[in-house]
Amino acid sequence: MRQFIERHTFWAIVIAVVAALFLWLIAAVWPDWLIDALGRKKTFVNTLLNGITLGGLYFLVASGFTLVFGLMRNVNLAHGSMYLLGAYIGYEVAEASGNWFLGLAAAFVAIGLSGMLLQVLVFRRMEGDDLRQTLVTIGISIIAADLMLAVWTGTTYQFQPPEWLFGAASLPVVSVIKASGDPVYIKYPVYRLSVLFVAVAVGIGLWLFLNRTRVGMMIRAGVNDREMLSATGVNVQLVFALVFAIGAGLAGFAGVVGGTALSIAPGEDLRYLLASLIVVIVGGLGSVTGAAIGALLIGLAEQFGLAYFPTYGVVLTFLIMVVVLAVRPQGIMGER
Amino acid sequence: MNARSLFSGRHSVSDIHPAAIATVVVLIAYPTFASDFFVFQIGAYSLILGTIALSLMMLAGYGGMVSLAQMTVAGLAGYLVAILGDNSVEVMGLDWPWWLFVPTAILGAALFSAFVGAVAVRTEGIYTIMITLAIAVAFFYLVRQNYVLFNGWTGFAGVEPPTLLGVYWRDPVPFYYLSLAVAGFFFLAVLYASRSTFGLGLQAIRDNPRRMRALGYNVTLHRIVAYFLSGLIAATAGVLFVWFNGRISSGSVGVGIVIDILVIAVIGGIRHPVGPFLGALAFVLLENFAIDLIDRERFNTVIGVAFLLVVLFSPDGLIGIWHRIRPRLRIGGSTRSKSGRVERVDRHAAGSLEQT
């Protein structure tokens, strides 16, 4: 943090100003001129929270993607298919057992295993060959999308999550003061807040895993010098299969989490693949912190675009990408 | 095959392979023995898709840059034709004369392609794929959501080619010859360009950008120009594409078809300009006749499996398969050692699909 401020004083100031502005916008009761300019405060706060929670969801998907790519240089463009397959499997299990959490676990395990299979059968055979990996995984995602369409048809599915996760919580944020003087508090769905909570927990967990555990150390060493790591007696292939399983499992996990917040339908695979692509391009390939920053930026851009200028909303996401690439081609947290 | 003789670099009349002449004769005589369906839906459509894939082949094969935005460039040209020209949807349709809107559409889309290049060339390899894919999808969502310029989800209908010299150019036979002329022109242009100073520079940059930079070449500019030129090809095909369909909508630039272009180029082979056309023909034939084999709904599985098999077993696509079986057919052929050497060199190229 302190290092960052010293090295990038200008950006630190910009970030601090923007953060302060947002905090003021959330905390203050809006004066009339602001309401005239931006609309009701409730819309703004809801959009902000939607953006942050969507960013959390994007982080869950993109962190797995960036973990696999950044550490093993495996380009898995079937990551979106894993998200969708995880959602479907989780749905089936949750429906059959009546337990939402069982669905969540099943999605994580099943997609983790299929990811491990993919690593052993496909990626191990074409190590270091980005383009072929890309093409093969595109082929796999085309087939997977079509087969999922055949099995689960074009219907939209909706989860039945546990009740205590649903409903709205009253936030300690005042939207307007009534004529009588009573403050009106903003309400927000509990589930979306818990998505954010889970995303933060997963992010911290990943960081601790990579930076504070022995296996994480092995993984980072293997990225830098695979031969040397295997010479020290570590089973490199086993470590990499494990990482792939975690990355893929996260996609399946996110499938259930995202499928509950929104819905499951064909085409979602591409949406989340693209979200993870843009997130890691903006954040920097291979950096979990970068994925978090990128996911937050893209989630906010998408929601604010949708709320305030719907027809050109996409352009905002795109602009962020172009600006980041122009300034830092390797992404915000990327290293060259 | 014509591929080999044209690839060798020398080209006097006596060098042209008989197979090349035969192919040209068959292509020109095609409408005399084929039905309208085969001329229009198979022939012209393959040529148009092949030309769009050709622009990708040029970037990927010679430049080592796999751009997924080629269909987007073609789609933008198509949209510009509908916006600047005439359509039946009462949105936009500025009604410019054709000799004005066709060059404008092509040039505009090519400039957009150069812009895509400018964004993408600062990075390499998988980054290029991701960025161009992201641009393609951003464009898709933009045209789907924007009703003022692009008429949203529905897009434009009733986009007609002009009637010129007393010929209605959307009739199957004239349209086929128009597509053939465009495809043939760009096929030869890409072949010529690949042997020009610019093309050789591009291939050298593909193989070793650092060395070329050290030699004083402007690597970034070379690459952006390559994007611009490939944009000209894709945009011209895009104009034909919108005339072929008579309509253009957000679905015309959707993710599915964006990836189809990559599938076509890879199935055919990205080493030689013939590849995209072979791939397009295979794709269109599969698209039209796979329903006779299986349920129409499962076309994507068929094309996906075909794509996967080609990527896994013949990294050079259909051309690669041909090159592999040819030595067995012709024992002791004099070109064998030469082709072997060429392939070995290419295998180390950055844009090569061969496993290193």
Per residue in A247-265, pLDDT tens? 999 999 999 998 888 888 8
CA B59, CA B66: separation in Å to the nearest integer? Answer: 7
Task: Provide the greatest CA pair distance for chain A.
Answer: 75
pLDDT of residue B331: 53
pTM (2 decimals)?
0.82
Beta bridge partners of residue B164, listed in sequence order: B167
pLDDT of residue B348: 41
Of A37, A260, A314, A82, give the one whose Cα is nearest residue B146: A314
Share of chain B above pLDDT 70, in %: 86
Which residue in this structure is represented by tokens 């992201």? B134
CA B252, CA B240: separation in Å to the nearest integer? Answer: 13
Whether the pLDDT of residue B337 is over 60: the answer is no
Which residue in this structure is represented by tokens 């059968």? A121
Span of A47-61, A149-163, B159-173, B326-340 with lowest mean pLDDT: B326-340
In this prediction, residues B85-99 reach a mean pLDDT of 78
The two three-digit tokens of residue B181, written as one number: 């002329």
* Contact: A314, B119; criterion CB under 8 Å: no
pLDDT of residue B342: 41
pLDDT of residue B57: 92
Report H helices in chain A.
2-7, 9-27, 32-38, 41-72, 79-97, 100-121, 130-152, 190-212, 214-224, 226-231, 236-261, 268-283, 288-308, 313-327
* Contact: A315, B142; criterion CB under 8 Å: yes
pLDDT of residue A336: 60
Please give the helix or strand (H or E) that residue B167 lies within, else none: strand B167-168
Give me the tens of pLDDT residue by residue for chain A, a chain 336 residues long: 677 777 778 878 888 898 888 888 877 777 777 777 777 777 888 888 889 999 999 999 998 888 888 777 778 888 999 999 999 999 999 988 888 889 999 999 999 999 999 888 888 888 777 778 888 888 899 899 989 988 888 888 888 877 777 777 777 777 677 777 777 777 788 888 888 899 999 999 988 888 888 888 887 777 677 778 888 888 878 888 888 899 999 999 999 998 888 888 888 888 888 888 888 888 887 788 888 999 999 999 988 888 888 777 777 887 888 888 877 877 888 776
* Contact: B297, A135; criterion CB under 8 Å: no
Average predicted confidence (pLDDT) for chain B: 81
CA A104, CA B104: separation in Å to the nearest integer? Answer: 53
Chain center to CA of B254: 16
- Residues B78 and B241: beta-carbon distance below 8 Å: yes
CA angle B98, B103, B106 (to 5 degrees): 120
DSSP letters spanning B234-303: HHHHHHHHHHHHSEE-GGGGSHHHHHHHHHHHHHH-SSSTHHHHHHHHHHHHHHHHHHHHS-GGGHHHHH
Chain A hits for B305, Cβ within 8 Å: 139, 143
Of B66, B122, B34, give the one whose Cα is nearest residue B261: B66
- Residues B47 and B207: beta-carbon distance below 8 Å: no
Q: How confident is the model at residue B239 (pLDDT cuts 50, 70, 90)?
A: very high
In this prediction, residues B207-224 reach a mean pLDDT of 89
Of A156, A168, A165, give the one whose Cα is nearest residue A104: A165
Chain B hits for A329, Cβ within 8 Å: 122-123
Which is more confident, B56 or A175?
Answer: B56
* Contact: A139, B133; criterion CB under 8 Å: no
CA angle A27, A41, B141 (to 5 degrees): 120
Q: Nearest CA of chain B to the CA of A248: how many Å?
A: 19
Of B255, B68, B258, B251, give the one whose Cα is nearest residue B143: B251
- Cα nearest neighbour of A129 on chain B: B355
Whether the pLDDT of residue B7 is over 60: the answer is no
* Contact: B300, A139; criterion CB under 8 Å: no
pLDDT of residue A225: 76
Query: A285 in contact with B at a CB cutoff of 8 Å?
Result: yes
Whether the pLDDT of residue B339 is over 60: the answer is no
Residue ranges of B 102-161 with Cβ closer than 8 A to chain A: 119, 122-123, 125-127, 129-131, 133-135, 137-138, 141-142, 145-148
Q: Is A188 helix (H, G, I), strand (E, B) or coil?
A: strand
Q: How many CB atoms lie within 10 A of CB A25?
A: 15
Interface A–B counts its CB contacts (< 8 A) at 110
Report H helices in chain B.
2-7, 18-33, 36-37, 45-57, 63, 70-84, 98-120, 126-145, 172-195, 197-207, 209-214, 219-245, 255-268, 274-293, 299-313, 317-329, 336-347
Chain B hits for A325, Cβ within 8 Å: 119, 122-123, 131
pLDDT of residue B21: 83
CA A296, CA A275: separation in Å to the nearest integer? Answer: 11
Give the torsion sign (CA, B320, B325, B327, B329).
negative
Chain B hits for A319, Cβ within 8 Å: none
Q: Is A157 helix (H, G, I), strand (E, B) or coil?
A: strand
Query: B91 in contact with A at a CB cutoff of 8 Å?
Result: no
Q: How confident is the model at residue B50 (pLDDT cuts 50, 70, 90)?
A: very high
Of B16, B316, B186, B193, give the one whose Cα is nearest residue B1: B16
Residue type, A12: A
Residue type, A81: S
Q: What is the pLDDT of residues A222-244, one digit of tens each?
A: 767 777 888 888 887 888 888 88
* Contact: B262, A130; criterion CB under 8 Å: no
Q: How confident is the model at residue B8 (pLDDT cuts 50, 70, 90)?
A: low
Q: Is A154 helix (H, G, I), strand (E, B) or coil?
A: coil
Question: CA B343 → CA B315, B316, B340, B347, B349, distances in Å?
Answer: 12, 10, 5, 6, 10
pLDDT of residue B340: 41
* Contact: B145, A131; criterion CB under 8 Å: no
Q: Where are the beta strands (DSSP E) in chain A?
A: 168-177, 183-189
Span of A298-307, B258-267, B298-307 with lowest mean pLDDT: B298-307
In this prediction, residues B273-293 reach a mean pLDDT of 85
Span of A193-197, B6-10, B176-180 with lowest mean pLDDT: B6-10
Chain A hits for B353, Cβ within 8 Å: 131-132, 135
Of B263, B78, B276, B89, give the one whose Cα is nearest residue B161: B78
Q: How confident is the model at residue B353 (pLDDT cuts 50, 70, 90)?
A: very low
Whether the pLDDT of residue B295 is over 90: the answer is no
- A287 φ, ψ (degrees, to nearest 5): -105, 120
Of A245, A317, A303, A256, give the one whose Cα is nearest residue A52: A303
Q: How confident is the model at residue B343 (pLDDT cuts 50, 70, 90)?
A: very low
Give the torsion sign (CA, A164, A166, A167, A169).
positive
Of A101, A60, A99, give the one whose Cα is nearest residue A82: A60
Q: How confident is the model at residue B334 (pLDDT cuts 50, 70, 90)?
A: very low
Task: Report chain B's C-alpha Rg in angstroms.
Answer: 20
ipTM of the complex in this document: 0.76
CA A198, CA A183: separation in Å to the nearest integer? Answer: 31
Span of A145-159, B154-168, B189-203 with lowest mean pLDDT: B154-168
